[in-house]
Structure 1
């Protein structure tokens, strides 16, 4: 089938993408590689489609009015999307991903190379031609290259080269069809996994969703709408997570196989209930714990809280039980209960909540951990990615810690310019580095507090021995409200380790006080929800990382990678052992699903060489990089040969 015919079939809906396929994951090097190969006449692989009845086909994108059959792409999605995006100059109807990866491709008639638009190099240059514009109006560019004053232009070689580019549309591609009444969704998904042995495998959640979409094609779209709603409000949940919430509500089980066999009406009802239950619990958690955005929220306990709500007739429990459920919720996050063996622990907790409600959940937590007391050493983590950073944030909000500049209790509802919240280093980074302290000590959680941006700018990198007495004089009690030790000898740079130890003591005492109150069933009546989930804007808390050159280097690396079409990493993230829950690294950046989503090995950027378990990370399948240069070199080297096989 000719490339142009394939694109026409995508336009009229004859070729579509099955719902179980994931989004677009190619990078710009792969886009250039495909068009270079096609231009030179090299083989680029074939396509595989599943021919199925149009009225029952679970295809992604805007629905089309079609009778008869529809061809769903099983193999060749990335190539088909790239061909369509570059030649048509827009994404196809079934697109999910970053369209900047393929938009803006240009061809150089002199060098016979493909590159993405760069204004300085290409603006007002007749030798650079926009590929989609060339396909739309080839005559215009034939005339353009004739203006070049070279022998090749005069003898028509450049026109021939442009015709060779547009000839890609006439290239014949082999299309293999999977047909027959015996080709059920299970069989087709198995075929998909086999032909994509070097690419993205379908997870158990993908398979469950594929079965659901085979009967209810709008399922994926509806779920993505819910996820978009939450994302706009600062909560970044995944499709797999939402499916787990639905599964918990409908079946009370953790394994997706339980959901895949349920009548579709139950799944539809469960999705609606999941949206309602999660919203209500997000308001409770934000209102009573102050955990109001993705960085500080623990998502997996919401699966169990939604099941509990379902068991109690779809209504939130009374204040006494809410408090005890929040006590359980905090502990699951602090100890990383779902960070390791998520499905196993979800199964245990769903069974416990069905059998004995919140009492069963707390009892199970005590059996697994023994002592639930918070100790000073629990606050020894570093960076905003550490497990106890949300606890510090929660204490700041619940205990009404006060801004060091204004004395006003910390809240994300503060109005006015420069009143956004920032994580402030009590002992400034620059002074600690100058005194010889290492990055792990500098970025210790016990050196963090939350203040407004305006106050942060005023304090800047002042010496604590100087600015702390001024704050105590101007806003008495503000420092103590932030658990700052009031022994002024600890405010000296030389005594920084003792300051950290003393503040950890104060933080652990505050945490235990709050937890004791919640376990006894007491909610603070003065604590109200500062940002309900229905608020029209997300919460944002920034770090005062402007003075940290290494953070700026990581930012630049991430910007470069995403511009090339690679996945956005998780930043300042704890990586734990899947069986023991032991923290292996607090990485500057991590790609747990590969630099290209679902393709290749897991990648970690860990710049504190003496502060992580490299051997265990490697055993778990992570490729570890301990310098930004090494990771960049790996990407550049891999791109020249393709970071992964061409799907």
Structure 2
């Protein structure tokens, strides 16, 4: 079938994208490579479709045809790229970054495809817009080619032949393999999809569950994404699978997605409506009473699944303040101890059984039994970087325990902290001083060396040694140091006593955490000034050189069309739940979602590379190494 016929069938709705397919993930290099291969007559692969009844099909963007519809199982990226360039717009089932195929140009002199660059292409007639050519035809380019050839008829003929070869891409024959038959249920087709896409990320149980929901409710994906967008605008990023788990817990009270089988679509629709209400309500409570008002400090997203279920069992209302406190203590413990870091469904099942049968008492009993002891110890604050589980704990204590700014003495409470757009993470012992003294990065960025200050105060301290600036702080703002759990032993403020300082501060932080969590668990009434009406704005954070380097890497990757990673996140074995590392950046579905192996950037724990590799994860310990890998990937040196 010719390319143009395939695109016509996409327009008519005869060819569509199944709901279980992920969105468009190709970048500009891949689009350029596709058109270069087509222009040169190289093989580019074919398509595989699932021929199924239109009235029962779950297609992205809905079904607009009667009878039989062809759902793309293999070739989505090629089909979308062809449609986007030839039609000059994305197909109706599109979900992704349209910049990947927007503005493709062809140079008739050197026969190269490149994306529009004004400095290079403006006023150069050798560059022609491929989408414009496909829309207007070869005839529209004759005057330009004549001018470019400057009276050389042979050269004019050559240029016109090249333009025609580009335009003829529309008529290139493509093989389509069809999967059909009454035995081809969605489960069978998903298995076929996973096999033919073995180089990419396999569909999850959540993908399959959502596909089945979309079969009866075509707008489901969009409705779910609308809810995620609402939370993302408030500073919280949730995945589609996660939201489906919340809905599942509300509707069925169970964790496995298989529990949704047979659930009426009206119940799922109502479940999503309730999920939006319950999660938003709990985010307000968590932001107000714990001060955890943005994504990086949220502790445990999966604990929200349980909190939503509890609210549902409570008649759709938040519990009283005392019960809220106990649930918040449980929420913090799930995050600190990494309850859902691995084997998520197993622990969600245990906790749903507990909340269904015994409420908050049973939840606390379960986590206490699993831990043996919920006491926070000084060693728990021994982690480093903002990815540590106890970074959110420090943030929580700062917001709820009247920690004060060193310069102004202003309490950094829940009603104030998140709204200070210039808030910085401050290294108590400045980085420059510690690196000069020979301390390792993991020591420099230890959680116990962090505190939160206003930007002005942080700048004023800059690289001043603590033995110099701390006495001045104590003189001008008595008690401010103690409010931030700074040991009052002046000898510990010397750089050569840094390790002793960290040990002492960890003890005070652990004591503060235990006291606060105990008060929550006892049902103590919160102080009025610690309640805020909504999640606060994400504060700006001063970042060390390594973090800035990772930021630059991520920005570069996004510009090149790769996926955004999860930042400062725990990586665990998918099967056993074993903790592996806390990565500066993690691409669980590959640098391009659905394509390639998971990728980890871990700057500190270099000894975990072999462990990660054994689990099929590409691991890098420097930004330079990961950049090199990406360059080789783009050059086709890595499959």
Decide whether aligned partners of structure 1 residues 145 and 429 sit closer, same or farther in structure 2, where only a CA change above 3 A counts: farther
Instruction: Give the Cα separation in 2 of the matches to 1:397 and 1:594.
Output: 36
Instruction: Give the Cα separation in 1 of the matches to 2:7 and 2:252.
Output: 42
User: Cα deviations across residues 45-71 of structure 1 (Å, max 9, x unaligned)?
Assistant: 11222334444432223x575444433
Instruction: Give the Cα separation in 2 of the matches to 1:340 and 1:191.
Output: 28
Tell me, yes or no, if the aligned pair for 1:292 and 1:531 is still in contact at 8 Å: no
1:399 Cα deviation from its structure 2 partner: 0.8
Q: Scaled by the length of structure 2, what TM-score is found?
A: 0.94
1:642 Cα deviation from its structure 2 partner: 7.1
1:103 Cα deviation from its structure 2 partner: 1.9
Q: For residue 565 of structure 2, what is the aligned residue in structure 1?
A: 569
Q: For residue 592 of structure 2, what is the aligned residue in structure 1?
A: 596
Tell me, yes or no, if the aligned pair for 2:381 and 2:448 is still in contact at 8 Å: yes
Is 1:637 matched up with 2:637?
A: no
User: Cα deviations across residues 337-390 of structure 1 (Å, max 9, x unaligned)?
Assistant: 000111111111111111211111111111111111001111111111111111
Q: For residue 252 of structure 1, what is the aligned residue in structure 2?
A: 253
1:180 Cα deviation from its structure 2 partner: 4.5
1:30-429 to 2 correspondences below 5 Å:
30-61=30-61, 63=62, 65-137=64-136, 138-148=138-148, 154-297=155-298, 298-411=300-413, 414=416, 419-429=421-431
Tell me, yes or no, if the aligned pair for 1:590 and 1:603 is still in contact at 8 Å: yes
Decide whether aligned partners of structure 1 residues 542 and 620 sit closer, same or farther in structure 2, where only a CA change above 3 A counts: farther
Tell me, yes or no, if the aligned pair for 2:423 and 2:539 is still in contact at 8 Å: yes
1:439 Cα deviation from its structure 2 partner: 0.8
Tell me, yes or no, if the aligned pair for 1:146 and 1:153 is still in contact at 8 Å: no
Instruction: Give the Cα separation in 2 of the matches to 1:521 and 1:142.
Output: 81
1:139 Cα deviation from its structure 2 partner: 4.2
1:512 Cα deviation from its structure 2 partner: 0.4
Tell me, yes or no, if the aligned pair for 1:635 and 1:643 is still in contact at 8 Å: no
Instruction: Give the Cα separation in 1 of the matches to 2:577 and 2:418.
Output: 42
The RMSD of aligned alpha carbons is: 2.4
Instruction: Give the Cα separation in 2 of the matches to 1:37 and 1:411.
Output: 60
Tell me, yes or no, if the aligned pair for 1:28 and 1:564 is still in contact at 8 Å: yes
Gaps of 5+ in 2: none
1:582 Cα deviation from its structure 2 partner: 5.3
Tell me, yes or no, if the aligned pair for 1:108 and 1:128 is still in contact at 8 Å: yes
Decide whether aligned partners of structure 1 residues 453 and 153 sit closer, same or farther in structure 2, where only a CA change above 3 A counts: farther
Gaps of 5+ in 1: none
Instruction: Give the Cα separation in 2 of the matches to 1:37 and 1:47.
Output: 16
Decide whether aligned partners of structure 1 residues 18 and 435 sit closer, same or farther in structure 2, where only a CA change above 3 A counts: same
Instruction: Give the Cα separation in 2 of the matches to 1:258 and 1:523.
Output: 38
Decide whether aligned partners of structure 1 residues 28 and 643 sit closer, same or farther in structure 2, where only a CA change above 3 A counts: farther
Instruction: Give the Cα separation in 2 of the matches to 1:303 and 1:380.
Output: 29
Q: For residue 546 of structure 2, what is the aligned residue in structure 1?
A: 550
SS at match of 1:60: coil
User: Cα deviations across residues 168-207 of structure 1 (Å, max 9, x unaligned)?
Assistant: 1111212233344554333333332333233342111111
User: Cα deviations across residues 409-465 of structure 1 (Å, max 9, x unaligned)?
Assistant: 225765999743221212221222122111111111111111222322222222222
Instruction: Give the Cα separation in 2 of the matches to 1:466 and 1:570.
Output: 38
Q: For residue 439 of structure 2, what is the aligned residue in structure 1?
A: 437
Decide whether aligned partners of structure 1 residues 531 and 580 sit closer, same or farther in structure 2, where only a CA change above 3 A counts: farther
